[in-house]
Structure 1
Amino acid sequence: MPKCDATVKNEENLNVQNGNKDLSFHGLLDKFASKEVDLEYARAPSKRQHLIPTTSSSISANQCTSQTKKKRKRVRGYAPPSQYAHLSPVPDRLGPNLICIFVGLNPGVATAKHGHMFANPTNLFWPLMSESGCVSRRVTCIDDESLPQNWDLGITNLVSRPTAEQSELSQEEMVAGTPSLEAKLIAHSPEIVCIVGKGIWESIYKFKTGRKLISSEFTFGFQSDYGFDFASANSKSSKIVSKPKIFVIPSTSGRVAAYSRAMKSELWAQLGNEIQLVRRSRQENVRESAS
């Protein structure tokens, strides 16, 4: 005898209450409907990804990725002279009637080992000089000895002792190097002094003024109205005081990445133009004297 609707509904409720796993006809339809919902989410990757919980494997992968990132190199602290006593200082490259003297901070380890200025292959000094017009051909560190004779250019340093990094020199040591540097510049009386590194100019400024150079008071390139006399020399033939032009460029060390290659090249080109003007002027004076 067929069951009435009320009887069927009561049996289904009883099955649910008793935990009976034998699903009714209506239960099968409910299960089928739930599977349709699952298929809908399967067709929608964005929804499916949103529902996927973070697993331990995904966390470990992120941790591995972060561990492979390059760590910032540790900055070295002050190194006493005894630490690099086995390295010899590099002689200055100077001579008479120089147009420009380049002032570096101090010899690096590669420079001291090779016996040539700015010898580290990562240093941009020689590539930038070659491109700038300061010289007429490509030059490298082995050309440092011929700079005075061939191009009327010289090189010296603020501090003579070698170290691996600038941080291994003390601030007091850098400031104290100013009088010796100034004496060399006065003795050779160049028309231009190129400071290769802002830190060198800051040390000179500190020695001359007794205070720190404020960033707002400084721009790279030719310095003007800096408030003190530096490397001025009295002419031997007259009472005229010769005061060199001061030109400051960023350090060419490969460790200094704060300034772009394009920015450095632009400053070097400006310096190269000035050196060429002086060189042409000297050549014209020689021709006039000979005629």
Structure 2
Amino acid sequence: MKEENSLKSVIQSFKYDSKAPSSPGNGNRIRKRVQKQPKVTHAYKDLAPSLSGDLKAIFVGFNPGIQSSLQQHHYAHFTNLFWKLFNQSDFLLKVLKSLGVDIEKEIECDELLRSVVIPGDITGSYRTAVKAEHDFEISKYHIGFTDLVLRCTRMAQELTLDEKLANVPRLISEFSNTGARYVVFVGKGIWEIVVKYYADNLGINFKLTKSNFLWGKQIQRDDSKYNLILSKLYQALGHPCSIYVFPSTSGLVTSLNYNEKLKLWHDLGDDVVNEANS
């Protein structure tokens, strides 16, 4: 009997008591409050335009991306096709030809030219190897760079419409002050903003469509509203100028295939040479 009572008391000692105070050791875990770390934001630098007082051509991007901001050079991301198209179209060589530069002689005394112009496979021929790091230096060859908006963002979609429109007057001023003979918008979206700016100023409702827009040189065609916008823009520039619109050279843009893009670049370079010879 004593053994039975003793067994009961042992069992009773293990019985759960709901009134007993809880402690860290009885299975109830204490949750520690973890504070969220503040999100780190980086203030990326603006990318200044590369301009000179007498430009033959100026290329216009949307706004600097992260790599362009970090490296402080235009079209700096390794996936961007800008410099590949620039070199394969021989654009620098064609600009130099339009300026009457004797490349063979100039290479002897121009260190920069020696670093970016390379002898081709055929005797007397050349090709170029211009990179993003040369963007500010090649302004000496009358080629410049700027952006619609100078502020850096990860994506152009982060720019507001008001911000983009507010930068158009600055852009037009750069074209005028540099006397750029060829203005090349590298991305249709940039040109759409400029068109909207002038359409709003003229008080007309206009939008670029497949029926009124073609890639390359922008000339007056059948659309009277588009013609009016072009006339207003040329008037604002105050000097003879040709406007070209190319697809964005971002690796993400596939509106045209590479060969189609390259043809636009070849056409631009040929226009530069032909005008100089006329």
Q: Specify the SS of the correspondent of 2:133.
A: helix
For residue 224 of structure 1, the aligned residue among 201, 219, 232 is 219
Letter in 1 for 2:149: V
CA distance in 1 between counterparts of 2:267 and 2:41 reads 36
Deviation at 1:276, TM superposition (A): 2.9
Q: Over the residues paired in the alignment, what is the CA RMSD in angstroms?
A: 2.0
Q: Specify the SS of the correspondent of 2:146.
A: strand
Letter in 2 for 1:243: P
Deviation at 1:262, TM superposition (A): 0.9
CA distance in 2 between counterparts of 1:135 and 1:188 reads 18
CA distance in 2 between counterparts of 1:85 and 1:223 reads 39
What does residue range 139-150 of structure 1 map to in structure 2 within 5 Å? 139-149=130-140
Letter in 2 for 1:253: S
Q: Which runs of 4+ in 1 moved over 4 A?
A: 231-234, 278-281
CA distance in 2 between counterparts of 1:126 and 1:213 reads 28
Deviation at 1:171, TM superposition (A): 2.5
What does residue range 86-101 of structure 1 map to in structure 2 within 5 Å? 86-101=43-58
CA distance in 2 between counterparts of 1:212 and 1:277 reads 32
Higher helix share goes to which structure? 1
Query: Which residue is equivalent to 1:274?
Result: 271
Distance 1:231 1:181, change over 3 A: farther
Instruction: Determine if contact 1:100/1:190 at 8 Å carries over to the other structure.
Output: yes
Query: Which residue is equivalent to 1:186?
Result: 176
Letter in 2 for 1:213: L
Distance 1:187 1:260, change over 3 A: same
CA distance in 2 between counterparts of 1:251 and 1:218 reads 16
Which structure 1 residue ranges, 5 or more long, are not aligned?
Answer: 1-82, 235-240, 282-291
Query: How many matched pairs?
Result: 192
CA distance in 2 between counterparts of 1:195 and 1:135 reads 17
Distance 1:222 1:145, change over 3 A: same
CA distance in 1 between counterparts of 2:233 and 2:151 reads 23
1:176 aligns with 2:158: no
CA distance in 1 between counterparts of 2:267 and 2:146 reads 21
Q: Specify the SS of the correspondent of 1:230.
A: helix
Q: Specify the SS of the correspondent of 1:119.
A: coil
Instruction: Determine if contact 1:196/1:248 at 8 Å carries over to the other structure.
Output: yes
Q: Specify the SS of the correspondent of 2:259.
A: helix
1:138 aligns with 2:138: no
Q: Specify the SS of the correspondent of 1:215.
A: coil
Query: Which residue is equivalent to 1:165?
Result: 155
Deviation at 1:232, TM superposition (A): 4.4
Deviation at 1:135, TM superposition (A): 1.1
1:109 aligns with 2:112: no
CA distance in 1 between counterparts of 2:218 and 2:65 reads 27
Which structure 2 residue ranges, 5 or more long, are not aligned?
Answer: 1-39, 94-127, 201-205, 221-225
Deviation at 1:231, TM superposition (A): 5.2
What does residue range 1-291 of structure 1 map to in structure 2 within 5 Å? 86-136=43-93, 137-149=128-140, 151-210=141-200, 211-225=206-220, 226=226, 227-228=228-229, 229-230=232-233, 232=235, 241-278=238-275
Q: Specify the SS of the correspondent of 1:248.
A: strand
Percent of residue pairs bearing the same amino acid type:
33
Deviation at 1:169, TM superposition (A): 1.5
Instruction: Determine if contact 2:172/2:236 at 8 Å carries over to the other structure.
Output: no
Instruction: Determine if contact 1:198/1:251 at 8 Å carries over to the other structure.
Output: yes
Q: Specify the SS of the correspondent of 2:74.
A: coil
Deviations 1:120-165 (A, max 9, x none): 000011110001121132211011011210x211000000101111
CA distance in 1 between counterparts of 2:41 and 2:190 reads 21
Instruction: Determine if contact 1:206/1:213 at 8 Å carries over to the other structure.
Output: no
